[in-house]
Copies of this chain bind each other. A is one copy, B any other.
């Protein structure tokens, strides 16, 4: 049993880059990831999976084609699979993500914001 507890906010001290999800824990075939959000991300979708966003600190919006979801500290939103979305940070924000192992941050989109995958912190 090698699992260790993770202090989510403390982990951000090790993470400089924005929009670069880093794995902090695994549950079965799923990964909890932390990421700094700052400014606007790119429109993209994940055709095989839902994706969860929990704001640990800060304030973001998730733009969807039909609505904008405003998310503040302690608020959770699940983007359904196949739904195009664009995260935007109103202020630089600390996010917890949950998705299956192997999911690329930019999904189906071509973008310079594509981050390395499956990197632990």
Contact = CB atoms under 8 A, between A and B. Distances in A.
Interface of A: 1, 3-9, 24-28, 30, 32, 49-52, 54, 56, 64, 66-67, 69-71, 74-81, 83, 98-100
14 contacts: A1-B80, A1-B83, A3-B78, A4-B77, A5-B70, A5-B76, A8-B54, A8-B76, A9-B74, A25-B76, A25-B78, A27-B50, A27-B51, A28-B100
A37 B81 CA distance: 32
A96 to B, nearest CB: 8
Instruction: State the majority secondary structure of interface residues on A.
Output: strand
Given A8-B75, A98-B98, 15 more contacts: A1-B67, A1-B83, A3-B77, A5-B76, A6-B76, A7-B75, A8-B54, A9-B74, A24-B76, A25-B52, A25-B76, A27-B50, A27-B78, A27-B99, A30-B30
